[in-house]
């Protein structure tokens, strides 16, 4: 069978959930027994998203192989339950970099290097390389941005050409666009969608499927209009209406016949989908038995997309523990401005300090960590949260006045967190952090060991600073346990305070590997501790985590 390509474009405005629709299409094919992979195209000039502020573009998703990618890759991984390589995120920056380097080498000697064909050829080559490497039956290609953007044109031109080269029966164009409802009349307005379809046609792409993004299920009148003006059959119009949980989107689209329609259109054998497991996760989320309230004390709290993997990791843990995890986003700076506000944290079952960069909000985060430690509120720190937990402990318990990370205070008398030696003489910022999955050794008998049920794990990373090894004996003498390290023992990977109910932090980002049905042991342990603390137990009962772990391993075996 030839590789099938599904191209997903977006219209009217960004953030209409193209990433979720793309992931959902992948899932619909997967539950029918087809293998898939997904590519995200980002028309920005950055080579990767690693150099962008999360406020600009949401979280940077880190792949197993250390790519700093668009957050949509995270959605693909969570929906499709697969590790994607960094090549699955294609940017304008990468494409131009390759072409310009080639030009300088003289590969195009004598020629005028142009957007068409040189840039578009490079785009197509990159898409096909992913197709070849993955050997997937179906390759999903999501074009970021909105149709009509200048930046997106070369990519749209490339996918237009691919229909000619791959054949009609092997290519499918899906257009996702917003259908707003006017609050005055309650009318569903399809005009903006019609315009974006026209825009797409102007470039030479006629969509095969249109997905209307609407707050409600579209009515027949709107469907008929979209079909008429989109020049597609009515059964090729689907609606991604607002649901409480994004993992419901593939279910609602498939219910409308989208999976079968796609198979028919691509000449794929019709197969009965098996949604049982997916439905199980959704049901578990929608029917919780318990509730935990967690304070996320961070710096990018204004944009929920900054913490999307963490947020999802809590959902996956919640599904496994039948718990509704409510997360309140709190700007750390608030505590610096009015220190009395720290008492607000009393209302929470757990305190969570996520990743971060730079100095803004740091003291506020440290205040939150101190509050957790002194009041024995369950605590989880990730990456910067881990580093700041070390700073807090060094200052307050070890009496190292002015202890800090050199990221924030380069002149600190006690650099308990310092630049890694290999980071010292770097003068390029792009793609030079310690990235991706690395082996980690867990100390036996620790909380972390109970959570992971293993002494050897692999988790993903993204950091430049790390715990200064010179201070490890001083910190440990006062009761801090470094429960995990790199295999050579040089890098501290996790810490815990054994005399606390649950006080754990990790240098690694466990959220990147968390998926429905395969929740992160670390996040799940924390949520369980929050529940147990609230229930007045003397110690967190973490045995349930091994049951959950066993279940997800069994699932994995089933898939293989």
Name the minimum Å distance from CB 513 to ligand GLN.
15
From the list 336, 367, 465, the residue with the least C-alpha distance to 412 is: 465
According to CB under 6 A, which one of 284, 327, 383, 457 is a site residue for ligand GLN?
383
> Hey, what's the torsion of the CAs at 501, 284, 295, 552, to 10 degrees?
60
Nearer residue to ligand GLN within complex by CB, 395 or 528: 395
According to CB under 6 A, which one of 34, 79, 285, 357 is a site residue for ligand GLN?
357
Name the minimum Å distance from CB 359 to ligand GLN.
10
* Cα 406 from Cα 410, distance rounded (Å): 4
Nearer residue to ligand GLN within complex by CB, 155 or 357: 357
Catalytic residue among 214, 383, 398, 530: 383
Name the minimum Å distance from CB 68 to ligand GLN.
11
Question: Interacting stretch for ligand GLN, rule CB under 6 A, among 64-72, 84-92, 104-112, 382-390?
Answer: 382-390
Interface with ligand GLN includes 247 (CB under 6 A)? no
From the list 198, 260, 216, the residue with the least C-alpha distance to 235 is: 260
Interface with ligand GLN includes 352 (CB under 6 A)? no
Contact 415, 406 (CB under 8 A): yes
HSE-CB for 102 with a 13 A CA cutoff: 16
Nearer residue to ligand GLN within complex by CB, 185 or 425: 425
* Cα 168 from Cα 7, distance rounded (Å): 12
| Binding-site string for ligand GLN from residue 39 to residue 58, where x marks contact by CB under 6 A and - marks none | --------------------
According to CB under 6 A, which one of 465, 471, 503, 523 is a site residue for ligand GLN?
465
In the residue annotation, 336 being an active-site residue is answered as: no
3-state secondary structure 16-78: CCHHHHHHHHHHHHHCCCCCEEEEEEECCCCCCHHHCCHHHHCCCEECCCCCEECHHHHHHHH
**Residue 330 DSSP SS3:** strand
Name the minimum Å distance from CB 485 to ligand GLN.
16
Nearer residue to ligand GLN within complex by CB, 261 or 379: 379
Interface with ligand GLN includes 356 (CB under 6 A)? yes
Q: Which secondary structure element, helix H or strand E, spans residue 318, and what is its range?
A: helix 308-321
Catalytic residue among 87, 142, 511, 530: 511
**Residue 518 DSSP SS3:** strand
DSSP assignment of 368-436 equals HHHHHHHHT--EEEETHHHHHHHHHHHHHTS--TT-EETTT-TT-S-EEEEE-GGGTT----TT-SEEE
In the residue annotation, 511 being an active-site residue is answered as: yes
In the residue annotation, 239 being an active-site residue is answered as: no
Question: Interacting stretch for ligand GLN, rule CB under 6 A, among 36-44, 185-193, 303-311, 353-361?
Answer: 353-361
Nearer residue to ligand GLN within complex by CB, 152 or 356: 356
3-state helix, strand, coil in the chain (%, to 5): 45, 20, 35
**Residue 340 DSSP SS3:** helix
Beta strand segments in 299-359, E: 323-331, 350-353
Interface with ligand GLN includes 76 (CB under 6 A)? no
Catalytic residue among 404, 493, 509, 530: 509
Nearer residue to ligand GLN within complex by CB, 463 or 549: 463
DSSP state of 84: P
The angle that helices 153-166 and 120-134 make with each other, rounded to 10 degrees, is: 60
Interface with ligand GLN includes 355 (CB under 6 A)? yes
According to CB under 6 A, which one of 260, 407, 418, 511 is a site residue for ligand GLN?
407
Interface with ligand GLN includes 72 (CB under 6 A)? no
Question: Interacting stretch for ligand GLN, rule CB under 6 A, among 190-198, 222-230, 352-360, 370-378?
Answer: 352-360
What part of residues 425-464 is at the interface with ligand GLN (CB under 6 A)?
462-464
Q: Residues with Cβ < 8 Å from 238, sequence gap 6 or more?
A: 209, 210, 211, 212, 253, 256, 257, 258
Nearer residue to ligand GLN within complex by CB, 277 or 464: 464
Q: Which residues pair with 437 in a beta bridge?
A: 460
Active site residues: 383, 509, 511
- Interface residues toward ligand GLN, by CB under 6 A: 355-357, 383-384, 387, 407, 462-465
């Amino acid at each position: 069978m030839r590789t099938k390509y599904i191209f997903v474009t977006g219209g009217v405005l960004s953030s209409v959930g193209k990433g979720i629709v793309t992931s959902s299409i992948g899932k619909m094919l997967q539950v029918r027994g087809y293998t898939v992979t997904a590519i995200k195209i980002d028309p920005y000039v950055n080579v990767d998203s690693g150099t962008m502020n999360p406020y600009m573009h949401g979280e940077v998703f880190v792949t197993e192989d250390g790519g700093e990618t668009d957050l949509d890759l995270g959605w693909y991984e969570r929906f499709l339950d697969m590790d994607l390589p960094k090549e699955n995120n294609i940017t304008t920056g990468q494409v131009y970099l390759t072409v310009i380097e080639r030009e300088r080498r003289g590969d195009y000697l004598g020629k005028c290097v142009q957007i068409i064909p040189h840039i578009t050829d490079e785009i197509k080559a990159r898409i096909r390389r992913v197709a070849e490497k993955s050997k997937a039956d179906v390759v999903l290609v999501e074009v970021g941005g909105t149709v009509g953007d200048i930046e997106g044109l070369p990519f749209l031109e490339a996918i237009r050409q691919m229909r000619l080269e791959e054949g009609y029966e092997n290519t499918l164009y899906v257009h996702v666009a917003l259908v707003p409802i006017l609050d005055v009349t309650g009318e569903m307005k399809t005009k903006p969608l019609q315009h974006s379809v026209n825009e797409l046609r102007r470039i030479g792409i006629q969509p095969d499927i249109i997905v209307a993004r609407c707050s409600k299920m579209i009515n027949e009148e709107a469907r008929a209009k979209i079909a008429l003006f989109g020049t597609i059959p009515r059964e090729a119009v689907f609606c991604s209406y607002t649901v409480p949980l994004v993992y419901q989107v593939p279910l609602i689209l498939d219910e409308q016949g989208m999976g079968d329609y796609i198979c028919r259109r691509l000449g794929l054998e019709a197969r009965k989908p098996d949604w049982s497991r997916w439905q199980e996760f959704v049901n578990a989320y929608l029917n919780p038995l318990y509730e935990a309230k967690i304070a996320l004390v961070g710096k990018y709290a204004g944009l929920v997309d900054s913490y999307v993997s963490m947020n999802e990791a809590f959902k996956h843990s919640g599904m496994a523990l039948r718990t509704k995890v409510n997360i309140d986003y709190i700007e750390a700076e608030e505590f610096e401005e009015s220190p009395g506000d720290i008492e607000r944290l009393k209302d929470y079952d757990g305190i969570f300090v996520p990743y971060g960069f730079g100095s803004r909000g740091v003291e506020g985060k440290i205040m939150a960590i101190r509050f957790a430690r002194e009041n024995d509120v369950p605590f989880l720190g990730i990456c910067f949260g881990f580093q700041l937990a070390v700073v807090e402990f060094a200052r307050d318990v070890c009496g190292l006045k002015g202890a800090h990370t050199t990221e924030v205070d380069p002149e600190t008398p006690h650099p308990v967190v310092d630049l890694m030696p290999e980071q010292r003489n770097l003068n390029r910022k792009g793609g030079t952090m310690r990235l991706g999955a690395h082996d980690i050794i867990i100390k036996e008998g620790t909380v972390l060991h109970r959570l992971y049920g293993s002494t050897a794990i692999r988790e993903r990373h993204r950091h430049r600073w790390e715990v200064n090894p010179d201070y490890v004996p001083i910190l440990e003498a006062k009761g801090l346990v470094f429960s995990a390290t790199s295999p050579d023992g040089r890098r501290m990977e996790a810490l815990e305070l054994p005399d606390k109910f649950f006080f754990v932090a990790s240098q690694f980002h466990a959220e990147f590997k968390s998926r429905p049905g395969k929740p992160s042991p670390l996040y799940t342990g924390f949520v369980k501790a929050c529940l147990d603390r609230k229930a007045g137990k003397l110690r967190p009962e973490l045995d349930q985590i091994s049951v959950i772990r066993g279940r997800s391993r069994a699932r994995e075996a089933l898939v293989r």
